[in-house]
Structure 1
């Protein structure tokens, strides 16, 4: 591998027209724990949670900026107490992290999707929403788009959360740490379902999350390269422009802005910006975010 950050595979040739590179699980990812809780069925991956263990996987490389997508079919039936997560994260005490956490529920109750953003090790920035479909009956795509201007969480390409770069207001923005891509399923019945009131019913185990459609379009950062050099190589300059740095994706389109407003009006059930019990003083970024 040559020094610096590389775009994956054939994607380089098509970067300007926005085609995506897609790959099988084992090209991009590897199991990170509980190897015996993985099942491979062609291009389909299944991860299970039982009363002995959950499971998790991680990307083989780290990236700085880009878009990651996976299609997930969440645990069917009574999934109370379980959490399935899809997220990006850097390492260390001052890490950055972008989370999708899918909080299971009792049969017939909707799954709750919790998103969170950590910047320099500071989190507690949760938003929660109910989806407009049943995520257990079919596969749906969950994406994180990350560039210099914004972090966008997308469900079936509909934006459900935007974290904007507000550095000009003195608010830190995640832009200088390469991040891995991860997913896991685990037992979180101390908090996941109705604040921990509903516990995991192990008679319904194993709880299975199914995955396919793994895509990473990002600036790959080899561990051997210094962080400052990765930053330089992954930031557009001259004719080396990545599609996620194009002006067209530096902010939401008019249509996407309307989609996000629709999600917030109809599906958001919790926003940390409005939680005066936890935050008597409104977090500073909430005062500036338009979304």
Structure 2
């Protein structure tokens, strides 16, 4: 069976040639130098879906760089589901930053270390988005679940179709240690390859993912990640929310 062709699903949208489709359409690479980063987006829009992408992150000293992989709609009240990988000095772990926006409101960050070196090989980063929940997973292990909080009056992404986007860009004003560590341009170009994109959408035949939830094994894996690798959770940031946490924090949507 042939590997999926990323060229069939994505267009490189910016970067003046820094984004490339290689290996007869099986591999997509983004790169960043001092002049510009690069990015791509999906040809299709999705209203709910289950998507997988294999990514190998920028190796070595990646401080100041961000590799973002996310779903987003357009406009001032956009919805968005984010994976962002915050680069670091060589030997220090990447930080995986996640966020969920609904109706233009985000500020729902959770950050994690990974339990492997994401620069040594490809790993699969997945988003399940259905009417009940959003589940972020890494190599099939759930790391975060955001449950639909509409019953308590909080908006949930369910009406706006989203495209898949990815970009590799310079954010050394905040990405590494709050901007203390700057990008070392002598290491450029910074490059990240992508492959084996897969999507299940409502256009497909098997729509069981539309009602998918975490089974008991997956719930245990989620607890393991949250206990051992979670380094920031907005739902426990007392300094940020001295008047009380956002309402969705109380329904396990953290």
Do the two structures share a fold, i.e. TM-score over 0.5? yes
Equivalent position of 1:195 in the other structure: 178
In structure 2, the gaps of 5 or more residues are none
Distance, in Å, in 1 between the alignment partners of 2:206 and 2:29 is: 36
Equivalences for residues 99-138 of structure 1 within 5 A: 99-138=82-121
Query: In the TM superposition, what is the alpha-carbon distance from 1:278 to its structure 2 partner?
Result: 1.5
Query: In the TM superposition, what is the alpha-carbon distance from 1:241 to its structure 2 partner?
Result: 6.8
**Aligned to 1:71, which of 51, 54, 58?**
54
Query: In the TM superposition, what is the alpha-carbon distance from 1:166 to its structure 2 partner?
Result: 2.1
The TM-score normalised by the length of structure 2 is 0.94
Query: In the TM superposition, what is the alpha-carbon distance from 1:40 to its structure 2 partner?
Result: 3.2
In structure 1, the gaps of 5 or more residues are 1-20, 221-233, 235-239
Query: In the TM superposition, what is the alpha-carbon distance from 1:172 to its structure 2 partner?
Result: 1.5
Equivalent position of 2:207 in the other structure: 242
SS at match of 2:178: helix
The TM-score normalised by the length of structure 1 is 0.83
Cα deviation, 1:123-167, whole Å, max 9, x if unaligned, reads 111110000000000000001000111000010010011110122
Distance, in Å, in 1 between the alignment partners of 2:3 and 2:158 is: 24
Give structure 1 regions of 4+ aligned residues with deviation exceeding 6 angstroms: none
Maintained 8 Å contact 1:145/1:151 = yes
Distance, in Å, in 2 between the alignment partners of 1:203 and 1:97 is: 34
Change (3 A) 1:290 1:178: closer
Equivalent position of 1:51 in the other structure: 34
Give the alignment's Cα RMSD to 1 decimal: 1.7
Maintained 8 Å contact 2:148/2:253 = no
SS at match of 1:263: helix
Which protein shows a greater Rg? 1
